[in-house]
Amino acid sequence: MIKVFKLPDLGEGLTESEIVAWHIAPGDTVTLNQHIADVETAKAVVELPSPFAGTVSTLHQPTGVVVQVGEAIVSFDVEGAEPAAAAPTAGTDVPAGVPAGVAAPAEPAQEREAVLVGYGASVERGGRPQRRARRGAAPAPAAAIVVPAAASVRASVPGSVPASVPAGVGAVGAERPRSTPPVRALARDLGIDLARLTGTGPDGLITRDDVRAGALTGPGADATVPAIGAAASVPGARESRTPIKSVRKHTAAAMVRSAFTAPHVTEFLTVDVTPTMELLDSLKRNRAFADQRINILTVVAKALCIAASRHPSVNTRWDDEAGEIVQYHYVNLGIAAATPRGLLVPNITDADALGLTGLSAALAALTDAARAGTTSPAALSGGTITITNIGVFGIDAGTPILNPGEAAILAMGAIRRTPWEYKGEIALRQVMTLSLSFDHRLVDGEQGSRFLADIGAILAEPGMVLTMV
């Protein structure tokens, strides 16, 4: 029986996703929950598992195409199938985008549509194992991939369809490069075709070093296939155009909504953080903290959590529909992260319950996931207040825009050795500027000022924490 898998709602209420890469081809035998594709939502790249065990019949969408939730993306031949050439009858579910004359056999009307495993899909398995198609086998006759004639097929992702293959047609039966999701994300960021690399890892696994070597030497790069989000340009052209999609599209909409919904106020505080930097130096020399990545961001995160407990208005949300102010009794601390895919704001759940070492570990995991492109959609929602570290770019201060639904965002500026009054004299001290933007509907000027002053007091004299907790 032919089972049509339609793009599901990946749990974030998003209406569309882009097919980044296929990891199956027509003729392949797949198992339940097998990773079959990478799809990019407005928030993250998600590994899509198979809801069926069977043989891949048809790929309905090529890579690089934005697909709406509910559109057919792949069909599976589950054992016990009716003849594939059966004519459609009343009630037959013909996949969206399939041209006239190319029909999929009917599914029982009472069955639920295939969705991600765990979301209610029924799975049928054959009693006899099926042989997997041999690698390098000839393409199946008839249309292996059905692409709507009106579909706008953009450049495919490196590692999916070679440039020599016509647009909309996948490489059938080709050997898929063995790699991990972080390595595939790195290859996409660098514009490297994994199919042209030789893996040096166990059993030919392609590693990060293999991808970086390919970027430096050139043989792994496919000059005809731009990376995701790259502008389609012509040498010598006076301008180029890049499609607005995925993270950039989502970020733009969110920032516009935030800027024109919440009345922003920004305050600045310049602080002598020399005592905090001396504390960090002493922790590095302490063997008990030798393996911890405790840095200025860790200390600022802890200071923010302490200050938020003293000034709870900064940790709230304005619920316009209900006409209520939602007060959070926990802190899900968002950390703005600049990635090759755009701005992401993953958050640390219950950050207020963590000490310095716990925050250090959580920040390290969050940063590594963001850089590797493996941040889960769940980690990108539910934040209550945010920190953005603009100091890493050498910027002293700014006016950050609130993450939608949050009452405050704190920007950390660069730490500079600056002439500063210290004990009645001028001395070179390590100085930082903090910038706090807040929603004036939720946070009064006094509340925002006291919150910022508390953070500054902790950084200027870490021992002040003892008077606040």
- Catalytic sites, residue numbers: 440
Residues belonging to the chain: 469
How far apart CA 247 and CA 14 sit, in angstroms, is 12
Distance of CA 64 to the CA centre of its chain: 17
The string of DSSP codes covering 12-30 is: S--SEEEEEEE---TT-EE
- Phi/psi region, residue 141 (left: phi>0; alpha: psi -120 to 50; beta: rest), is beta
How far apart CA 188 and CA 379 sit, in angstroms, is 22
Grouping H, G, I as helix, E, B as strand and the rest as coil, residue 421 is strand
Who contacts 89 (Cβ-Cβ below 8 Å, separation ≥6)?
106
Structure tokens at 423: 């004990």
Who contacts 255 (Cβ-Cβ below 8 Å, separation ≥6)?
401
| CA-to-CA dists, residue 295 to 172, 289, 365, 420, angstroms | 49, 11, 14, 23
Please name which of 2, 106, 130, 111 lies closest in space to residue 60, comparing C-alpha atoms: 2
The string of DSSP codes covering 37-82 is: EEEE-SS-EEEEEPSS-EEEEEE-S-TT-EEETT-EEEEEE-SSPP
Who contacts 256 (Cβ-Cβ below 8 Å, separation ≥6)?
none
